[in-house]
Structure 1
Amino acid sequence: MIRGLFLRPPSENSKEVGATEIRGAGSAGAESSRADGLPTKVPSSGHIVYEGNGASSQHYSTEFEARGIRGFHSSSGSGARTHIALQPVDERNGSKLIINGFAHKRARLLGFYARHKIDDTWIWLTEDFSWQEGAAGRAKLLVQPDQDVSEIGSVTGSNIVLEAQWLYPNGESANCGSLMFTNKLMAHALGGLNEASYHNTLAAFEHSLEAGHTYFEVDLSYTADERLVVSSPRIRTGDHNKPEKISDMAYERVMSLTSHGEPIMDARDLYELLSEHPQYCFEIDFHFVVGENAKKRIKSLLEDFNHDDETLSRLLIQVHTPEMHRDIDSVYRFEHYQYLVGMKMDRLNEAITYSLDVGICALALRWSLATASVVEQIKAAGLYILSYTAEYDPSLADALLRSGIDTVCTDHVTPRMLMGAEGRMGQKQFFVFYHSGDKDAVSRYSVDSDQLRLLRVKSGALEIRDSEFWINDGTQRLLPQQFTLQRRQFAGWKMRMKIDGKTHWYCSDGTFRTKKEALAAPPTERHLFHDQDIVPVISTVEGAKVVMVAQWVPTKRFARILEKWLPKRQ
């Protein structure tokens, strides 16, 4: 990671790439704009860097001129750096005071959060005047205009970034991204309809609108003849056909198809939809594209949206990698970006650092991976969090929001359902069932009392169902194991539970994950409980069914027989 500030040159009166970016008198060490349109590099030390972070405008040229400061300023960036200014801190400048040259149409400035970079890691100034990575659980210091730069630190080794903090009159944040992330829910693919997901249709949008949604996700795909259509990358072309790639079909062919029986829209239809509903915001998912493929899509989007900056300002563009962000941003500087972490949790630190470097305002990740420590780390960096996808369960969506996540992507949860589910998931009582793990297992459990009931489940295995509530306080122990299986010995229990209609397994890191999510980077294993182990506190709904599944391994004698007679694999 290069420790410097990069600003790309846009065209005049537009956010599209053109000729000049930085305005104002030069500063020692700064490079001039390049004719080939490549980024202009600003020195990585010796400056205060002001980020507008949602500001409506900036007037640093007036502020700098009045104080005799030879600084830079620009209103042609993207993300939190749409408006930006650089103030050199040296003997040639007449003032070393912190300056506010930003303005906001509807919010007031609270101050600035200060951060600077050491060894590719951002650290923040806290209220005890120490610099801490991720604020280390300490409150960040709000730096005020007219404070002396020397009061917050030195710019000798690196720039100090001052990130503006804005507040609406109703007490909500007005920072970059607040337009989207003041919405608790986002309707996935314009929302589910008739129990189906991945609609991306006008009918789904109208249904979501009627249900009270105000923030929508939409997929855009490119046809073989380079037209943008509102669809996931693959679509079924018949009731029994496998999904086909949009990129393999011509525009006319795609537009002749339907999504769940509803007509498919193109990007121009989407623009008309946004124009008719100027109060709503949309996340755009191009899925993973880079290079010329990404640039072509953005050029098509601009054409289909009539280069309408106001409508484009209500879009949040999801990017998967730094390369994808750079390619998209080289064509048009969107005001809102979101970095998809997904299941690549080993890249979380990289995603946070890059987002702060370039002004991306949010990260997106699977809800099951949004642990308390992950949420704390992202929020400490001043970024918003979107988690996906809570399909049907409003209690899950409510629990995610209460954990610190800003917005939950959902197919079928509505604002009204969310309101009715408040507090339903948490440290609630549940039932424990004991599953034999094999259809040939034999039960030795005593089922004479009303507490235990023995059933043979659909798989053929046995299941002991305990009718007493589990207190869920982290003190209760599992019942003694009473299943037997010929030539096998009991190895332990693995815990599973249905969450949002899917089977999730309790893992060694304390999360519940599906089989696929357990393979996330870095991967984790399903936790093995021993006989009569204490079960930790879990977050669930009242009366949930927690199933302990018996795990079996060959007895030592049988293992020796298997080793002797089974052919060894090379």
Structure 2
Amino acid sequence: MMLVYGHRGAKGIAPENTLAGFRHCLEAGVTRCELDLQLSLDEQLIVFHDNNLKRLTGRRGKVKHKTAAELQHYSIRDTALNWPTTCPIPTLAQLFACCAFDHWQLEVKPLSRKKSVIAIKAIARLVEQFELQDRVTITSSSAQVLKAAQHYAPHISRGLVAEYGWLDPIKTAMRYQCSLLALNWTLCTEQRTQKAKSAGLHLSVWTVNEPKLMLRLAQYEVDSLITDFPGLASATLGNY
């Protein structure tokens, strides 16, 4: 059976990477999620996709130039969704404390070598604190982040996020001893799926929002998909 991960919580239904979105994912019966991590000025893990604050908050500046306390005064704006309540930017610690997912894909956005080490060590501390050792995979498209994860958190599983086909994503994932490959759906073929499975990789495909594509990936025997609409995916795949 193909597993379902909520993309940034439930990005198509609730403001992305917010407690409201992750709670909606759980309420839809989907107990796996994918999220994005940035580092704040005071080196806290912030659940936020963009480097810049403008798109999601309307504020100027970058996440790395603000403290976690400052960021939590900002609210995620999503006029398209017309969400009725304010949604502060959460820290990873807050999310771990509030939401009991069976598995988390934590995508660490590209960082410098030094900041990669800081982020990985911070994840490892939280994973230990919340006893999530077997329920977390650290993912990234960044070689710096994956190298840091190999060295400083070898006990936590790793995953490569692959959006482009110019590098062989399976070979690259194996280079960093990953157990998971998060593959853009445009790169997912039946042949590549079987090659990934033969290499022992869990293949997780993103971002999959159309029922026809969900069913096609199920036919390929993809291990999991990442979707903005976890309830829709769960219903679509429920009888497959």
Does 2:175 match 1:354?
A: yes
The answer as to whether partners of 1:221 and 1:246 remain within 8 angstroms in 2 is yes
For residues 189-225 of structure 1, the C-alpha deviation after alignment (integer angstroms, 9 at most, x for no partner) is 112254x56x111111111111110110121211122
The one-letter code of the counterpart of 1:341 is A
Cross-structure match for 2:110: 288
Cross-structure match for 2:122: 300
Q: Which runs of 5+ in 1 are unaligned?
A: 1-181, 423-570
The answer as to whether partners of 1:313 and 1:334 remain within 8 angstroms in 2 is no
Equivalent position SS for 2:167: helix
Query: Structure 2 vs 1, CA of residues 292 and 362 (structure 1 numbering), >3 Å: closer, same or farther?
Result: same
Cross-structure match for 1:329: 150
The one-letter code of the counterpart of 1:191 is A
Aligned ranges for residues 253-268 of structure 1 at < 5 Å?
253-260=70-77, 261-268=86-93
Cross-structure match for 1:33: none
Higher relative contact order (CA 8 A, sep 6+): 2
For residues 430-449 of structure 1, the C-alpha deviation after alignment (integer angstroms, 9 at most, x for no partner) is xxxxxxxxxxxxxxxxxxxx
Q: Which runs of 5+ in 2 are unaligned?
A: 78-85
The answer as to whether partners of 2:5 and 2:30 remain within 8 angstroms in 1 is yes
Cross-structure match for 1:566: none
Query: Structure 2 vs 1, CA of residues 299 and 380 (structure 1 numbering), >3 Å: closer, same or farther?
Result: closer
Q: Aligned partners of 1:351 and 1:185: how far apart in 2?
A: 24
For residues 11-69 of structure 1, the C-alpha deviation after alignment (integer angstroms, 9 at most, x for no partner) is xxxxxxxxxxxxxxxxxxxxxxxxxxxxxxxxxxxxxxxxxxxxxxxxxxxxxxxxxxx
For residues 471-518 of structure 1, the C-alpha deviation after alignment (integer angstroms, 9 at most, x for no partner) is xxxxxxxxxxxxxxxxxxxxxxxxxxxxxxxxxxxxxxxxxxxxxxxx
Shift of 1:242: 7.0
Say what the alpha-carbon RMSD is for the aligned residues: 2.8
The alignment covers a number of residue pairs equal to: 231
Equivalent position SS for 1:346: coil
Q: Which has the higher strand share?
A: 1
Aligned ranges for residues 68-107 of structure 1 at < 5 Å?
none
Cross-structure match for 1:316: 137
The answer as to whether partners of 1:220 and 1:286 remain within 8 angstroms in 2 is yes
Query: Structure 2 vs 1, CA of residues 324 and 236 (structure 1 numbering), >3 Å: closer, same or farther?
Result: closer
Sequence identity percentage: 20
The answer as to whether partners of 2:138 and 2:149 remain within 8 angstroms in 1 is no
Give the alignment's TM-score, normalised by structure 2: 0.83
The answer as to whether partners of 2:57 and 2:76 remain within 8 angstroms in 1 is no
- Equivalent of residue 66 in structure 2, options 249, 252, 255: 249
Q: Aligned partners of 1:192 and 1:246: how far apart in 2?
A: 20
Q: Aligned partners of 2:135 and 2:123: how far apart in 1?
A: 14
Does 2:23 match 1:206?
A: yes
Cross-structure match for 1:188: 7
Query: Structure 2 vs 1, CA of residues 264 and 373 (structure 1 numbering), >3 Å: closer, same or farther?
Result: same
Cross-structure match for 1:372: 190
Query: Structure 2 vs 1, CA of residues 267 and 348 (structure 1 numbering), >3 Å: closer, same or farther?
Result: closer
The one-letter code of the counterpart of 1:269 is Q
Bigger CA radius of gyration: 1
Give the alignment's TM-score, normalised by structure 1: 0.37
Query: Structure 2 vs 1, CA of residues 311 and 404 (structure 1 numbering), >3 Å: closer, same or farther?
Result: same
Q: Which has the higher helix share?
A: 2
Q: Aligned partners of 1:280 and 1:329: how far apart in 2?
A: 23
Cross-structure match for 2:217: 400
Aligned ranges for residues 265-284 of structure 1 at < 5 Å?
265-274=90-99, 277=100, 280-284=102-106
Q: Aligned partners of 1:403 and 1:389: how far apart in 2?
A: 16
Shift of 1:240: 8.8
Q: Aligned partners of 1:411 and 1:319: how far apart in 2?
A: 19
Equivalent position SS for 1:330: helix
The answer as to whether partners of 2:162 and 2:181 remain within 8 angstroms in 1 is yes
